[in-house]
Amino acid sequence: MPVVALALAPAAVAQPVGEQCPPRDGYSIVITAGNIDCVTAASYAVQYHPQGEKYQVIPPFTCYSGDAATAPLLFQCVASTEDHSQFAVYPATP
């Protein structure tokens, strides 16, 4: 009876794409689109309530939480402005 060996490649964790902001308040923000800077994105991010509704409007942004399929993403925000600025929020890594 032949023996078959299976080799498994290590699973890769999806890396955020965009401008990586310095960690702040336990979060890591990645600017993914538009004309927004890290300080401004952080000022909107702190207004999101992780235990609140899935979709939260923080003008001009609509922010929504991730799920198991998008982990480690905590939430992302998309602006209703002409440039459709976007940023994603992840847990800060030590």
pLDDT at 16: 56
Distance of CA 44 to the CA centre of its chain: 13
For residues 94 and 28, what is the distance between their CA atoms, to the nearest angstrom? 11
30, 91 contact by CB (below 8 A): no
- Among the residue ranges 7-21, 35-49, 77-91, the one predicted with the least confidence is 7-21
Closest of 3, 41, 7 to residue 22, by C-alpha: 41
Global confidence as pTM = 0.78
Q: Does the pLDDT at position 51 exceed 70?
A: yes
pLDDT at residue 9 tops 60: no
Mean pLDDT of the chain: 85
